[in-house]
Chains A and B, each alone.
Chain A
Amino acid sequence: MVCGVGAALPPHIVSNADLTARLDTTDEWIRSRTGIARRHVAGKDLSTTDLAVRAAAQALADGEPVTVEALVVATTTPDRCCPATAPAVATRLGLTGIPAYDLAAGCTGFLYALATAAGLIAAGTAQTALVVGADRLAALPAPGDRTTVPLFGDGAGAVVLRHGSADEAGALGPVVLGSDGTGADLIRASCPGALHMDGGDVFRHAVDRMSTASRQAAIAAGWDLADVDRLVPHQANSRITAFVARQLGVPDDRQLSTIAETGNTGAASIPLLLARSAADGHLERGHRTLLTAFGAGLTWGATTLTWPGHCRSHPPKGARRDR
């Protein structure tokens, strides 16, 4: 079960107006097609590791005190190819010695990490686990690509998981996951600055996979979709999330969103959305939340979560540079 949530965003904000000064685009074009108004972008002095540490520390300070016994970091944009991000994050949190590893599943990474961390707990490897999603996606598009540069931002989010029972607030339902390598070319980047994305086909697959996975996760948890209090979709594009919500019959006032303020933050987006929504009161104890994501791979997933009330969430603030 979830017993703490945290998030971190870089302090530097890039508005649509900032982008229109250097790209052939307009604020209206970006907003109408993506719902994005601004995004946080990390400078060279703020790494994926830095963002992960800050989000994880906030999650640990949020809920009841726990001794963390495992750490999973979902990221597609680690600071280096080798070694993984997670051991460094663990050590900076004072957790040297615990099992810690990275996992890459595109923008679905957080749900994959949640499932594997829950598996570590179920297997008895750990009683508690930190699950972090951290990405610096703003550096992925080619700098002059007006269709992809506006979409992405940087950030991190984290939750604390501990052993618990299915009827407690904070209970996590079965996690539905899937992948399809035949769509590998639809979202791909051989290196930072070389992102390719096929927008139309990505939209098609995203709405189909997220809607189907959401229905499967609800059935697996024994929930009726009409009983979902909050939909927590990966924040890729407001048109995608609105479409999925309509397919699922979830009304507008039950959808949570940060897309206007953050853009697509990859594996960070779901925990970031949870942290912000808990902080601003849109997510309350006992709310039945449905989490779903889709990303490069192709990958997708969904799960259910009854929101724990004891999380004392803080609004994600700009990351301090001295951490």
Chain B
Amino acid sequence: MTGDLTRILTDDLKLPADRLTDDASLDDAGFDSLAVVELSVLLTDRYGIDISDSDIWDAATLGQLDLLIITRRSGR
């Protein structure tokens, strides 16, 4: 995972750092329904990208979520 996503997950969403591995699922990492909304809002605020709640839930792992964010950011 890139540092940007790691920082958001630990500093903003307060998820436990020891659970944040590339192959962890969102459930493994401690996401709940509100955390998905929080992440979506933060991504819009920080990077100007719109990633829906369902797009975030569709990511099987944090590694895939990171890739999705990188792809959207580079597409701007």
Measured CB to CB, the residues of A under 8 A from B are: 32-33, 199-200, 203-204, 207-208, 239, 243, 246-247
Contacts and interface: CB of A to CB of B under 8 A. Distances in A.
Nearest to B53: A200
A239 B33 contact: no
Contacts of A208: 41
A233 B12 CA distance: 19
Contacts of B12: 246
Given A200-B33, A200-B36, A203-B41, 11 more contacts: A32-B32, A33-B32, A33-B34, A199-B34, A200-B34, A200-B37, A203-B38, A204-B37, A204-B40, A208-B41, A247-B45
Contact of A204 (B32, B33, B41): B41
A243 B41 CA distance: 10
Interface of B: 12, 32-34, 36-38, 40-41, 45, 53
A300 B22 CA distance: 39
B41 A199 contact: no
A246 B37 CA distance: 15
Contacts of A246: 12
Q: Which 5 A-B pairs have the closest CB atoms?
A: A200-B37, A203-B37, A239-B34, A33-B34, A204-B41
Contacts of A247: 45
A32 B12 CA distance: 15
Contacts of B38: 203, 239, 243
Contacts of A204: 37, 40-41
Nearest to B42: A243
A55 B59 CA distance: 50
A239 B53 CA distance: 17
Contacts of B34: 33, 199-200, 203, 239
Contacts of A239: 34, 38
A33 B37 CA distance: 12
Contacts of B41: 203-204, 207-208, 243
Contacts of A199: 33-34, 37
A33 B41 CA distance: 17
Contacts of B53: 200
With a 10 A CB-CB cut-off, give which of B36, B37, B53 has the most chain A CB atoms.
Answer: B37
15 contacts: A33-B33, A33-B34, A199-B33, A199-B34, A199-B37, A200-B34, A200-B36, A200-B37, A200-B53, A204-B37, A204-B41, A208-B41, A239-B38, A243-B41, A247-B45
